[in-house]
Structure 1
Amino acid sequence: MSALTHSRLYLQRLGYDTPPAPTLQTLHDLQLRHVCTFAFESLSTLLRLPVPIDLPSVEQKVLFDGRGGYCYELNQLFLALLQELGFDARGITGRVVMGGPADAHTARTHRLSLVTLDGVRYISDVGFGGMVPSSPLQLDTEAVQATAHEPYRLSFDGQGSYTLWAKVGEEWRGLYVFDLHVQADIDYEIGNWYVSTHPQSPFLGQLKVARLAAGKRHTLNNASYAVHYLDRPSEKRTLNSADELLGLLSETFGIHLPQDARLRASLDGLVLATP
């Protein structure tokens, strides 16, 4: 794996003047700051553009072009930062089950990180869209774990697979199933290829955007926008024009919009297709 070449800029974007020590508190702070700073977004797959996941390309897109990304980009960038700071961390992958049965055997299309601190293992994830955990989660416990947002918990099947659950309202929802198998670059390339190009990918030709803030989550699914609060009901509305979408992407999600002539036409198409 390549090393970060712009870690100073990355840390500055996260609010650090100097590199923090590799402690559990730092991991908590980094993860929360990351999900509140960099948007999860699928503008590239909306436009059916390639999504390169080599580290220099990801650094350019996120740190210099003002964009966000999805798990194969954001979690790779975050892992590289953790490793540079001295954390014992490596990448792992999982199968998304959100929206379906938790025991479904779906494709391996999610990337996250395993971090070990003082012999205790945690998962850290900054690339799971609108339900991304805002805090690292201790792996080897099935207890409910508080985060800066909703409670989460992990379950273990005794055969090597873990399931991540989030409590939404009074309901526990399965998000993804993962294991701790060592992954090579080609494993991420294959998953990313599927997500960014396969006709059955939920990202191809679709717009999915999320960004967290204190006490709330902003999410955008095509032209359907929602703000989910921790202490009161969600606010939801449908956007009625490409201009509304462009303004929201820029102002609320902090995305520097790509100069692509097809963007407005694609956003117009999303508005027309949203009931």
Structure 2
Amino acid sequence: MAEPFDLHAYLKRIAFHGEPRATLAVLAEIQRLHAQHLPFENLSPLLGEAVPLDLAALQQKLIRQRRGGYCYEHNLLLLEALRRVGFRARGLAARVFWNAPADARPPQTHMLLLVEWQGTDYLVDAGFGGMTPTGPLRLRERDVQRTPHEDFRVRPEGRLFALEARVAAAWKLIYKFDLEEQWLADYEVASWYLSHHPESMFVTNLIAARAAPEGRHSLLNDRYTLYRPDGHREERALAGATEALELLGTVFAIDVPDADALAARVEAILKAGKG
């Protein structure tokens, strides 16, 4: 028998206060708080651990163990929460173009959500790491849309939509997607590849991100960056694995699992020249 979803525990985990009703204000608040309190991180694939996507495992890891995860974990958990609140929502898939060459032809390896409210479709995403949108975006709105962090826009391209963010005064393509609903089996296939392939970025790097009121915190191996809402960027190199793990526990608010094994894995990455 499947484990029931504990909406109260989820809302407590993201520090949501008030009545959870299906309103646009509640949708925006849940998305903002999810990105603030549930960090993006890849510690499980980095340690060679499985990344189960069933609801029981997601609640255990992200809520009770006070961990984070990557897109499938975040957005599957958020999808269930939004449905329990009363929203009509479904999962979609996207091809990621962020930091990719102009001629890239990437596979569909990202999960996002489509949420319908009062006849309007919104793009909602809680799992794109350092560029996770922190507010719902109207799908068929051509104008610039503000969020608590960057400005975004959603451009139609035939049957596709392209999500872009304004970064350092320039528009950058994040991903492209269509409106075909995806099933859990679709996500499990892509997630297995991302968490097992020896050249996957989630297997070969230490990655963490959190969108806080003071800005976006980002960690890639031994490089920590804070992107302020005013565009100011603060960056520094960490001394090594010990400082990286300390940062995971403080800035990223992660209850770090198996610290000794993780420290050894991070040290190996840094020695291989990935710092």
Question: Could you state the TM-score of these two structures normalised by the residue count of structure 2?
Answer: 0.95
Task: Calculate percent identity across the aligned residue pairs.
Answer: 40
Q: Deviations over 1:34-81 (max 9, x none)?
A: 101010000111112111111110110011111100001010000100
The aligned amino acid for 1:20 is P
TM alignment of 1:167-246, pairs within 5 A: 167-246=166-245
- Structure 1 residues 162 and 103, CA, compared in 2 at 3 Å: closer, same or farther? farther
Unpaired runs of 5+ residues, structure 2, are none
Match of 1:67 in 2: 67
- Structure 1 residues 187 and 232, CA, compared in 2 at 3 Å: closer, same or farther? closer
Whether the 8 Å CA contact 1:46–1:206 is kept in 2: the answer is yes
Match of 1:133 in 2: 133
Match of 2:253 in 1: 254
Q: Deviations over 1:80-112 (max 9, x none)?
A: 000001001111111111002466321111001
2:133 is aligned with 1:124: no
The aligned amino acid for 2:129 is G
Whether the 8 Å CA contact 1:55–1:77 is kept in 2: the answer is yes
The aligned amino acid for 2:233 is S
Q: Deviations over 1:132-184 (max 9, x none)?
A: 001010001221100110000011112x1111000001111111111110211
* Inter-partner Cα distance in structure 2 for 1:21 and 1:222: 40
The aligned amino acid for 1:46 is L
* Inter-partner Cα distance in structure 1 for 2:106 and 2:193: 12
Whether the 8 Å CA contact 1:223–1:270 is kept in 2: the answer is no
* Inter-partner Cα distance in structure 2 for 1:25 and 1:104: 37
* Inter-partner Cα distance in structure 2 for 1:3 and 1:94: 29
Match of 1:43 in 2: 43
Whether the 8 Å CA contact 1:38–1:68 is kept in 2: the answer is yes
Match of 2:268 in 1: 269
Q: CA deviation at 1:185?
A: 1.6
Whether the 8 Å CA contact 2:14–2:38 is kept in 1: the answer is no
* Inter-partner Cα distance in structure 1 for 2:111 and 2:131: 14
* Inter-partner Cα distance in structure 2 for 1:31 and 1:131: 13
Q: CA deviation at 1:16?
A: 3.4
Whether the 8 Å CA contact 1:40–1:210 is kept in 2: the answer is yes
Q: Secondary structure at the match of 1:189?
A: helix
Q: CA deviation at 1:4?
A: 4.8
* Inter-partner Cα distance in structure 2 for 1:103 and 1:270: 29
Whether the 8 Å CA contact 2:16–2:30 is kept in 1: the answer is no
* Inter-partner Cα distance in structure 2 for 1:225 and 1:131: 15
TM alignment of 1:83-162, pairs within 5 A: 83-101=83-101, 104-158=104-158, 160-162=159-161
Match of 1:29 in 2: 29
The aligned amino acid for 2:268 is G
Matched residues, number? 273
The aligned amino acid for 1:135 is G
Q: Secondary structure at the match of 1:175?
A: strand
Q: Secondary structure at the match of 2:180?
A: coil
Whether the 8 Å CA contact 1:102–1:175 is kept in 2: the answer is no
- Structure 1 residues 177 and 166, CA, compared in 2 at 3 Å: closer, same or farther? same
Question: Could you state the TM-score of these two structures normalised by the residue count of structure 1?
Answer: 0.95
Whether the 8 Å CA contact 1:3–1:80 is kept in 2: the answer is no
Q: Secondary structure at the match of 2:199?
A: coil
